[in-house]
Structure 1
Amino acid sequence: MELSSRVKGMAESVTLKLNSKAMELSEAGKQVYNLTAGQLPFRPPQDFIDAIRLELDFLKSYQYSPVSGFVDLRKKIIRHVEESRGINFQASELLGEEFDCVISNGAKHSISNILGAIINPGDEVIIISPYWISYPEMIKFCRGVPVIVKSSIFDVFTPPLNEIKKAISEKTKAIIINSPNNPAGIHYSDEWMSDFADLLEENPDICVISDEIYFEVCYYDPKPTYFYQKKPELLKRTIIVDGISKAFASTGLRIGYCVGPKNICKGIENLQGQLTSSANSLIQRAMMNYNFSGSVQFLTPVKNHLRDNATIIREKFKERDLMKCWYQPVSAFYFMIDFTQTPVFKKYQQDKNDTTDYAMKICEDMLNSLGVVIVPGTDFGMVNSARISLVLHKEVFSEAITKIVDFLHN
């Protein structure tokens, strides 16, 4: 049976080969340092686990919820978004606009729902590299066109707004903003967000998908701010995406949500109703009985852990004079390294005019010689680079980073 053209045209992750090799090495009894994980080595908040247990005896926990999620939970999520972001969906600038929430099977599902609800064939969606792996493929699956705005380590992965302005065309339907950012481990500055708000004001037909799944995971000040805080009227064309995977250390429970204009949420509800129906009823009911502010206390040791590992990176990269290939991560679970700014890159590059992407080759060599698994930047729209996860336990992480810096300095 032949696959559809949509699926055949979908890019395969270059990390699959590395992960397969890593499993082989591990099964052979060799030490493997897997620095690819996007999930915390922590149990979810105990109060949340208790809330789940309390719901196990109720019949409704095993039955369908409304497609968009239980009404009381949707209202609770909207209040949480307002309080945590310091916004008000009833503000005078938003009179006449109604807002709603759709609960889905993870933030990834929310984003694909949004794109499916707003994209027509040929519509362009602007994304900033480095970007989360799935954005381009989701856009293309919806028959849209991803338009990439590049950034680099030299501007701390924050592109000049003029570059976004140049990427806008009459076909631009949306811009995806991911702050805090996976894979870069940064969030865009308050000044950048203010200028971005001005740019959006100049382009009234463009909507924004604001992927904020790492909003709670910022371990250095200042905290993330957003364009819609600068100009609340922009909420009329903004869809905010978040979920419990990162802040609750619950990647496997698959609950995400989006909050935005009611007409967009209605379209998302219709799409979700036909494709997947409602999200997990048990977890939704547990969330109704869980105090979201409890995640603040839960995240304190999580942030300390990530901050400690970020300090290990800084110290070890500084020891080997590798500061040009690295920068200070401040949020999310990751950071990027630029291989072109390391001594080892000269072993791969044929000459100064060689623009070949050696990321996969370098990562393969690192795995085979060191047992260290990192993700080639190719998947994130960044050639000759790699993403490293911060989540491993401190001692193991320190060993892995030592091996990486020795390899890069060789």
Structure 2
Amino acid sequence: MTAPAVFKPSSALSKVGPSAISRMMAATAEMKRQGRDVIGLHVGEPDFNTPENILDAANRAMRNGETHYSALDGSPAVKAAVLEKFRRENGLNFTADEVVVTTGAKMMIFSAFMASIGPGDEVILPAPYWVSYSDIVEMMGATPVILPTKAEDGFVLKAADLEAAITPNTRWILINSPSNPTGTIYSAEDYAPLLDVLAENPHVWLMVDDMYEHLIFDPGTFVTPAQLRPDLRDRILTVNGVSKAYAMTGWRIGYGAGPLPLMKAIRAVVSQSTSCTCTIAQAAAVEALTGPQEAVSAYLAEYRSRRSLIMEELHTIPGLVCAAPAGTFYAFVDWRALVGSITPGGEVLADDETFCHYMLQEHGVAVVPGAAFGAAGYFRISFASDEQSLRQGMARIRLGCAALTR
């Protein structure tokens, strides 16, 4: 009799599994498949359709035969659009060799780490952080160094904490602004002392994830570090993409700009992994970055209205605390006053996982545990959903909280 096959996963996956968001998506989908009524406030994806002008550009590209391989780091047209975006919106001038277009911004982050870190290296991650950051670092055999930030500081990393965390093994610090999950935006004043610390530690590089750049509720507050310290540009990788601002998550177009030696190494990773991104999606991204921008403003106005709705509801639910996010479409909610509460079924809500499981299974609303973002005692709500879903979801959270006893 043939022995059953035994699968042995690679050492790169020894500490990594599906993200908390992916697990919540799977659980929600299964409940819906079973016919259960679930309100999903867990997915970080615009509920809008991609604008018509972008769809038209993709259609033209297909009809014109733009269905073959492009250069592995992006077609000349999409790279020109990225270069113009940086010049127009950020006052940054890069060369085409300093830009790489990837299959989503996550692939840019993955490729940059694949190209630059390994066992023994450390990457500093201010917490809360996007769930994939730490897992990607661990997949490279490196060590994520988690630096907690405080709600009372607006979840902004302080220079003294950064300086204390840097060791001879530190290779990168990664900052996401506006932040998923908190909505925090780093101002020029917030960045300045951190960049001073970076300047004093020439072995440390800075990666900035600017994916939510256009989802900011107070105009004029966005800056990116390469603008502020041109003298540090040879150690800064600026990551961005079209997914969130243009409702193009499924098109999978991200990009990064940085110093030539790094971008050359990233090209090598891309060449042996994805090769070029979808050429039709590249043509769509050109239109997104260079075409009319009215849709972006319209989406932002809708998110602003939804933020107001969510905050009004949260402020009336005993046990929950949340500051209004300055950007993104997320609210990061503090539920620590309810930790240890008991559900009507007798379960003790000891941590974020049990709280979110209770809300999903007993009240049919999906949210994401804060521990997945490196911040236990919180959960994340996405308000990238229509008003009716948001009102129903918040009503269910209210009911779930009210049913708890101490």
TM-score normalized with structure 2 length: 0.90
Question: Which whole-Å CA distance do the structure 1 matches of 2:397 and 2:231 have between them?
Answer: 47
- 2:48 is equivalent to residue 42 of structure 1: yes
List runs of 5+ in structure 2 lacking aligned partners. 1-6, 344-348
Contact 1:153 1:338 in 2 (8 A): no
1:296 aligns with 2:289: no
The answer for the alignment partner of 2:196 in structure 1 is: 198
Deviation for aligned residue 1:15: 4.5
- Aligned-pair CA distance for 1:357: 5.7
Query: Is contact 1:74–1:100 with CA below 8 Å preserved after alignment?
Result: no
| 2:333 counterpart of 1:337 | yes
> Is the 8 Å Cα contact of residues 218 and 330 (structure 1) preserved in structure 2?
yes
Give 1:83 deviation, angstroms: 1.6
Distance 1:160 1:287, change over 3 A: closer
| Offset of residue 205 of structure 1 | 2.1
Matched, 1:390 2:367: no
* Residues 1:153 and 2:133 are matched in the alignment: no
- Please tell me whether residue 86 in structure 1 is matched to residue 82 in structure 2: no
Q: 1:317 aligns with which of 310, 314, 318?
A: 314
**Aligned partner of 2:87: which letter?**
E
CA gap of 1:118–1:295, structure 2 versus 1, over 3 A, is farther
* Residue correspondence of structure 1 range 395-410 to structure 2 within 5 A: 395-409=388-402, 410=404
The one-letter amino acid paired with 1:331 is: G
Distance 1:348 1:160, change over 3 A: farther
1:120 is displaced (CA, Å) by 3.4
Summarize deviations over 1:185-216 as a string: whole Å, max 9, x none.
22123311122222212222211111111111
Mean alpha-carbon deviation: is it higher for 306-315 or for 101-110? 306-315
Contact 1:176 1:209 in 2 (8 A): yes
Alignment CA distance shift 1:120-1:369 (3 Å): closer
Residue of structure 2 in register with 1:94 after alignment: none
Q: Quick check: 152-161 or 111-120, which moved more?
A: 152-161
Q: Which residue pairs with 2:36 in the alignment?
A: 30
How far residue 311 of structure 1 moved from its aligned partner, in angstroms, is: 0.5
Matched, 1:347 2:345: no
- Using the TM superposition, name which of 101-110 and 29-38 deviates more: 29-38
Equivalent in the alignment of 1:369: 362
Aligned to 1:93: none
Question: In the alignment, is the contact (CA less than 8 A) between 2:25 and 2:43 conserved in 1?
Answer: no
Could you say which residue in structure 1 is the equivalent of 2:63? Answer: 57
Q: Equivalents in 2 of 1:83, 1:252: separation in Å?
A: 26
Q: Secondary structure at the match of 2:178?
A: coil
CA 1:101–1:400: 2 relative to 1, 3 Å: same
5 Å-filtered alignment, 1:90-239, equals 100-239=98-237
C-alpha contact 1:228 1:234 (8 A) present in aligned 2? yes
- Give the whole-Å Cα distance in 2 for the aligned partners of 1:176 and 1:222: 23
* Larger mean Cα displacement after TM superposition, 150-159 or 369-378: 150-159
Give me the whole-angstrom Cα distance separating, in 1, the residues matched to 2:255 and 2:26: 32
Distance in 1 between the 2:187 and 2:291 partners?
27
Change (3 A) 1:291 1:6: closer
* SS at structure 2 position matched to 1:391: coil
Gaps of 5+ in 1: 91-97, 350-355
Match of 1:380 in 2: 373
Q: CA deviation at 1:312?
A: 1.1
Contact 2:208 2:239 in 1 (8 A): yes
* RMSD of aligned residue pairs (Cα, Å): 2.2
Q: CA deviation at 1:220?
A: 2.7
Asked if 1 retains the 8 angstrom alpha-carbon contact of 2:364 and 2:396, the reply is no
Q: Give, as a single letter, the amino acid of the residue that structure 2 aligns with 1:313.
A: I
Amino acid of the residue matched to residue 111 of structure 2? N
Identical residues among aligned pairs (%): 28
Q: For 1:24 and 1:105, how far apart are their aligned partners in 2? A: 28
Maintained 8 Å contact 1:185/1:331:
yes
CA positional deviation for 1:384: 2.0
SS state at 2:245 partner: coil
The 3 A distance-change label for structure 1 pair 15 and 270 is: closer
